[in-house]
Structure 1
Amino acid sequence: MAVWTEHTNAAGRKYWYHTQEKRSVWDKPDELRTPRERAMAATPWKEYAAGERRYYVHAETKETTWKVPKELQDIFDTMPDEPAAAAAATPAAAAAAAAASPAAGTPLSGGVTPATAAAASPAQVAAGHSSPGGAARPVYSGPPPGFAAPAAGSPNGGLAGSPASASLPARPAVDAAAPVPSAPLPASLPQRVVPVGPASSAPFAPGAFGGPGGGEAAFVSLLKGKGIDASWTWESAMREIITEPLYKALKSMSERKAAFAKYVAELQREENERREAQVKELEPGVRELLENMKQLKPFFSIEATNQILANEPKWKQLREVGEEKARELWETVKKEWKEKETAAQRELRHRNMDMLMSLLLTFEADVFTRWKDAQRTVLESDEWATDAHLSTMDAADMIIVFDEHMRALEKEKETEAAAALKKRRRDERRRREQYKQRLQELVADGTLTARTPWPTIYKLVKHDADFAELAAQPGSSPLDLYFDVVDELESRLHARTKHVERLLESAGTEAAHIDEKTEFEDFKLRLKKASEQDGEGAEVLKDEKELRLVFDELVERAVRAQAEQRRRAERRLRHLTEDLRYALRKVSALPVEDDAALERPWEEWRPKLAALELKEWSEMQRLDIEEDKVDESRKSAWERFVRRQKEKNEERRAKEGSPHLSSSSRKRRDAAADEEEDKSRHRSSKHARSSRDARDARPASGRREEEERRRERPTEGEESARKRARHEEEDSEKEEGEV
């Protein structure tokens, strides 16, 4: 007797049972392994089967491959081939399985021995199987549906199929005492217990029905044999077939449910195809019937249709096929009728709208035409009176057509306005470009320079074509375009003047000095010498006109600088005049109380005042102003001093006659009055100087450009603006001179 016996659980997995030690293992024992299997067990590689193919998995790295790993291949190459050994192992395994099965004569469940079971019919064998309660369970004894009856003398009472190889194998004997291995199954396999009990409770062996789909075919044949149709549920079908042997042709409940659902779906599909074929055959006749039945309306329900067509044979045949098919056909026909009616109404509506649009186009209408007037014209037309369909047109559709016509007129009007605006802008741009070209021509011939005033240019261009339109159109005016050109010329002149100044400064201070007495020829000579020394000023001498402008600019700058210097000197002289008058009040040597002495002529007092060596007197002498003006300022300061002293003497003599005031009080009051007058003069002088300094802080170039533009602008109030500027200058001088 073999120590190890091989068995298979319900999931189809093999395990081995040790008959002496009474233990089970999932892995094949070493005693039963071949040399190749023992060599593979010594490596981390494991062999598995996937259908008919085998693959290998590395236990540590989890690497999977279909090919034999090189490590195993090297081992297998050192070992002899085993085809003969494998063939010899098959009888040995069969012998071991036979030894593991119950011995001949040993009674099976119900007292049936293997020998008698082999010779007995399936019914006799089934009779020996009983349920756990002891009652006999009926077992189907015939061949499976679709298989032929067993041939005479076939071994084990197997079922003979139509193919030669379609005989059912003997049901494997299972040792009830062999326990299931205690080790857990892999996660990929369900945890199921090996069935132990009567042999009839075990499923059919794999391949018993000739292939993977044979079990399902046998189960479906059982359903057909029991007359199960598409109206059955799974519960009712299971109660009918659960006692049949072919119920276990499929292993699991899920497989049986899937096969039943597939069987029912197939029946339903066949039934639907049969009904569709009948409906397709009856549909032409029923459609003709419905079309000719004038009593039917598209809004009738299926119940009303059934009442009307109750005596029609074709409709009856369709209802016998199925009420739902009749309903679907009626709904389809109604939908087609509605679509035809809607299409006809839509076509008539479009036709009427087109007719009305053609009628409106014949009228004289504009964007201000009202619907009331247009409607009256349409209703009075001959087309409206003669066309029967047009007179039935809905008022809303008429308004829609009128709105569309008005939108077309508005769009046309907008298109014309846009074209006119585009043309006007193009004409305006053309006038500006022509005027710019005219100014450039004046620049080219030297008429327009950076110092040419606008009135001169206005006299030249005011009679040009399109000048009046240019002055009236929006955008840049002729004056703006003139200033654009002048600004560009001024920038160019400024850059050229800077260049000339740099050349003259490089030649020396004497060459760079230019005033109003400098001649143009002398200036050219200096510039020529400077350009020969520098090597970069030769291009400046090429344009005589531009060189003349540069010379005029430099002379004008020199004149302005001299005028500014003179203005500052005169202002300083005015300040010194006030300071001199104030300083004379502090001189004690003057006979301020003697009116006769103060009234002496200026020629007598001049040498005496000069002998005082006052600071203000000396500073007047150092100013760059004519001696006559300086002497006149000194005389003005002296006369104002004398006039004030006489007033004080008059006031003092008038107060001396008053009995209420003492001489000391009068002196203190006079001193306080003089001190208050000095403070007031100081505050006024300080305020005037701060205002003047703030005004002078403005850049000279900015003031010059502003003044030049104000003088050059040909406005109607030009003269008044100049007078206003002159008055403002005179007022500022008065504020600076007054205390």
Structure 2
Amino acid sequence: MKESLKYQKASDIFSKEPLWIAVNDEDRKEIFRDCIDFVARRDKEKKEEDRKRDIAAFSHVLQSMEQITYKTTWAQAQRILYENPQFAERKDLHFMDKEDALTVFEDHIKQAEKEHDEEKEQEEKRLRRQQRKVREEYRLLLESLHKRGELTSMSLWTSLFPIISTDTRFELMLFQPGSSPLDLFKFFVEDLKEQYTEDRRLIKEILTEKGCQVIATTEYREFSDWVVSHEKGGKVDHGNMKLCYNSLIEKAESKAKDEEKESLRRKRRLESEFRNLLKEHNVDKDSEWTVIKPKIEKDKAYLAMENDDERETAFNHYKNGTSGTTAGSEILEKKKKKKDKKKKNKRSDNNSESEGEIREKEKKKKKKHSKEDRMDDEERGKKSKKSRKRSPSRSESPRHSSEKRKRRESEAD
């Protein structure tokens, strides 16, 4: 009994069988159809079981073959399979459905690719962890140099290279991709420079707590001792400390200069008031200090002077017809002398020109004037033609032409 067997053919085959004859024709046909359906289901189930068995066996064979990788093509796989003893023993696999075999092979390749990608990703992660560890070790080297004060925000690669290049952590950095040792050094220094604002604030807090003040004569060693001796001073970068010191010293010097200028202005003002006081008491060259002093010692201008030596000195200067040379007057005198010297040098440079150069300049000047005269004559001729067309009887007055000639000569000069 097969699924393809027809009822007429079955009737010819079983016509002499007693069971076949014992059943009427209608019942035989119905029973035959039921039997055919059963055989069809049975054969289909068996075929599906055989297919699943072959697929599992073929997949197992592929997995056991190391020669087949994620790069292997189907044509290459077929040649490898026929050379494999395990595949050769399974004769049933030779008659396996080609489409099923190709599907199993594709699934095997996809799994191999997935495993390869996972292995590659794991390897990349491992390499990244290793490279990150090397960079962290190198950064620890830079931090150790920073703690010792050898690496600061003002450090240069050329100055620290002899120290860094002898360390094994520097050598390991050279054998991996990504940021170079120089790049990480620059990043580290940039971070220190960006820390300047915070370091400056911290330094000011330390100086305030210690009650220390930076003046123009404060040395860097003294300033550094103030900062480092504080518990928070270890966080401050030495390069930023130096920059902060320079800034504070510059401010202190500027303040001292301003105070000195203010003191000088105040001194000149007091001297001027004192001279006016002497003038009011008609001091002359015959006056004596011992006589004038009792008369003015209660006056504000007298009391404003610091001591008797300054008062007597100012008195003598006034008495001798001089008001004393102050710092301001000295500066003005020096500037005046410099200006006079520059003018004198300029005149001497002009006088030192050679006679040939002077003649050459005069020739150029004459040529320029003659060219301008020609242009003026041409322009005047054109204007005269126009004026003749407009009013033939009217002519230019001598006075008007002389004024024009004078103006032209002055312009040429």
* TM-score of the superposed pair, with normalisation by structure 1: 0.32
Q: Which amino acid aligns with 1:552?
A: K
TM-superposed CA distance for 1:433, in Å, is: 1.5
The whole-number CA distance in structure 1 between the counterparts of 2:82 and 2:336 is: 107
For residues 462-520 of structure 1, the C-alpha deviation after alignment (integer angstroms, 9 at most, x for no partner) is 23324344245344443343344334433444333245457879999x95544xx6423
Structure number with larger C-alpha Rg: 1
Tell me: CA distance 1:358–1:395, structure 2 relative to 1, closer, same or farther (3 Å). same
Question: CA contact under 8 A between 1:520 and 1:551: conserved in structure 2?
Answer: no
- Counterpart position of 2:153: 450
Quickly say closer, same or farther: Cα 1:369–1:634, change in 2 above 3 A.
Answer: farther
| 1:399 equivalenced with 2:102 (yes/no) | yes
Displacement of 1:393: 1.8
* Distance in 1 between residues matched to 2:67 and 2:176, nearest whole Å: 35
Aligned residues with identical type, % of pairs: 21
Query: Judging changes above 3 Å, is the alpha-carbon distance between structure 1 residues 384 and 450 closer, same or farther for their aligned structure 2 residues?
Result: closer
Deviation of the 1:428 alpha carbon: 0.8
Q: Which moved more, 1:304-313 or 1:439-448?
A: 304-313
Distance 1:310 1:467, change over 3 A: same
Quote the offset at 1:351 in angstroms. 2.8
Residues 373, 504 of structure 1: alpha-carbon distance in 2 compared, 3 angstrom cutoff:
closer
Deviation at 1:380, TM superposition (A): 5.1
The match for 2:40 is: 338
In the TM superposition, 1:576-595 aligns within 5 A as: none
2:197 to 494, 501, 504: 494
Q: Which residue of 1 aligns with 2:3?
A: 297
Q: Tell me which protein shows more helix as a share of its residues.
A: 2
Question: How many residue pairs align between the two structures?
Answer: 296
Kindly indicate whether the alpha-carbon contact (under 8 Å) linking 2:137 and 2:169 is maintained by their aligned counterparts in 1: no
Question: Which stretches in structure 1 are left out of the alignment for 5+ residues?
Answer: 1-293, 320-325, 528-536, 563-620, 671-739
Measured in 2, the distance between the counterparts of 1:553 and 1:448 equals 15
SS at match of 2:149: coil
The 1:382/1:629 distance shift into structure 2, 3 A limit, reads farther
C-alpha distance in structure 2 between counterparts of 1:353 and 1:424, whole Å: 39
Q: 8 Å contact 1:541–1:547 — kept in the other structure? A: no
Q: Does structure 2 conserve the Cα–Cα contact (< 8 Å) formed by 1:471 and 1:477? A: yes
Give, in angstroms, the shift of residue 401 of structure 1. Answer: 3.0
- Distance (whole Å) between structure 2 residues aligned to residue 555 and residue 631 of structure 1: 42
Residue 170 of structure 2 corresponds to which residue in structure 1? 467
Q: Which residue of 1 is the match for residue 136 of structure 2?
A: 433
Structural mapping, 1:22-421, within 5 Å: 294=1, 297=3, 312-313=22-23, 334-360=36-62, 361-362=64-65, 364-379=67-82, 387-421=90-124
Alignment partner for residue 557 of structure 1, among 217, 226, 247?
Answer: 247
Which SS does the other structure have where 1:452 is aligned?
Answer: coil
How far apart in 2 are the matches of 1:426 and 1:345? 53
Structure 2 unaligned regions, length at least 5: 253-330, 374-404
What residue number does 1:63 align with? none
Q: Distance in 2 between matches of 1:487 and 1:312?
A: 108
Match of 1:579 in 2: none
CA change 1:357–1:664 in 2 (3 A) is same
1:268-306: CA deviations, max 9, x gaps?
Answer: xxxxxxxxxxxxxxxxxxxxxxxxxx3x636869x9999
Q: Distance in 2 between matches of 1:521 and 1:386?
A: 91
Take 2:27 and 2:234, find their aligned partners in 1: how far apart are those partners? 118
Change (3 A) 1:473 1:560: farther
What TM-score does the superposition give when structure 2 sets the normalisation length? 0.52
Distance 1:445 1:632, change over 3 A: farther
Partner residue in 2 for 1:668: 411
Q: CA deviation at 1:392?
A: 1.8
Structure-1 residue corresponding to 2:127: 424
CA distance in 1, matches of 2:340, 2:207: 40
- Conservation of the 8 A alpha-carbon contact between 1:356 and 1:401: yes
Deviations 1:325-360 (A, max 9, x none): x6xx87766554333212211222233334434444
C-alpha change, 1:378 and 1:648, in structure 2 (3 Å) is same
Deviation string, structure 1 residues 555-603 (Cα, Å, up to 9, x no partner): 53378899xxxxxxxxxxxxxxxxxxxxxxxxxxxxxxxxxxxxxxxxx
Deviations 1:78-115 (A, max 9, x none): xxxxxxxxxxxxxxxxxxxxxxxxxxxxxxxxxxxxxx
Matching residue's letter, 2:52: H
Structure number with higher relative contact order (C-alpha < 8 Å, ≥ 6 residues apart) = 2
Maintained 8 Å contact 1:446/1:545: no
Partner amino acid for 1:667?
Answer: S
Q: Is the 8 A contact 1:352 1:389 kept in 2?
A: yes
* Local SS of the residue matching 2:168: coil
- CA separation of 1:440/1:414 partners in 2, compared to 1, >3 Å: closer, same or farther? same
